[in-house]
Amino acid sequence: MPTLLENRIADLLEPYLAGGPELAADLIPRMSRYLDLLMLWNAKTNLTAIREPAQLVQRQLGESLFAARFLPATGTLLDFGSGGGFPGIPLQLAFPDLRVTLAESQGKKAGFLREATRSLALNAEVWSSRVESMPSDRSFDIVAMRAVDQAAAMLPIAQERVAHTGQLLRYLPASEETHLGEWDLTQEAQVPLSQGRIALWKRA
Ligand SMILES: C[S@@+](CC[C@H](N)C(=O)[O-])C[C@H]1O[C@@H](n2cnc3c(N)ncnc32)[C@H](O)[C@@H]1O
């Protein structure tokens, strides 16, 4: 038995998808398999503190997918500090032609990401080390950061990885400033059912 029926997953995701672009036709069945995998691994490895399946769908999968409305469906995306794959895996499932790099420095979480990449046949690679140790010439069309500790210290490292014409995507608490020196804010939106926001910037 799957953790949740596909109809229930679709209902839970609806607020995050409403008004957004057309996404992969097989998104919901593949999300269902991803949810099953998360539940299995979360029982033995601390991938996310959220353990209740409906909340996991809303808070992690839905919030990740909400960003799809502001992103290109192709190109490259770096998920900086991916943890259990948020937002990189839902966005890859939504956009099959988006090539995603899941960067995660904790070995057990990186092990989960490798297993998810293999068993969901994702168009993705796992960088199982710190982003700082990537070859210096690697850059991405989108660099996404969600719930990464020491955000102030990590931000310049993320900015360095944004391609010249690329964009930085961040999930922000309600109180956080969006001013980023020498970068222009291109999008900002309240995340449904949350106090948080997402914001995108490009170089000025
Ligand atoms: C709190 S978790 C959040 C995970 C996920 N993005 C989410 O929204 O649930 C932050 C993750 O970022 C990873 N991390 C922090 N700094 C990193 C770095 N410089 N390079 C790679 N991973 C990093 C940590 O190991 C941790 O698993």
Dump pLDDT digits (tens) for 77-102. Answer: 999 999 999 999 999 999 999 999 99
Residue 147, ligand 1, Cβ within 6 A: yes
131 is in an annotated binding site: yes
pLDDT at 175: 87
Q: Note the helical H segments in the chain.
A: 6-17, 27-42, 53-55, 63-66, 88-94, 107-119, 151-160
**CATH number for the segment(s) 6-203:** 3.40.50.150
Enter the pTM of the model: 0.98
Residue 101, ligand 1, Cβ within 6 A: no
pLDDT at 18: 97
Instruction: List Cα–Cα distances, 3 to 10, 50, 92, 160, 196, in angstroms.
Output: 13, 14, 21, 39, 27
Q: List pLDDT tens digits, range 68-77.
A: 999 999 999 9
ipTM above 0.85, yes or no: yes
Residue 141, ligand 1, Cβ within 6 A: no
Residue type for 150, please? Q
Cα angle for residues 78, 71, 16 (degrees, 5° grid): 105
Q: How confident is the model at residue 174 (pLDDT cuts 50, 70, 90)?
A: confident
Q: Ligand 1 atom 7: the closest Cα is on which residue?
A: 86
pLDDT at 105: 98
CB count, 10 Å around CB of 45? 15
pLDDT at 133: 98
Residues in the chain, total: 204
Measuring CA to CA, which residue among 122, 157, 127 is closest to residue 143?
157
Q: List pLDDT tens digits, range 54-64.
A: 999 999 999 99
Distance of CA 14 from the midpoint of ligand 1 (Å): 27
pLDDT at 126 over 90: yes
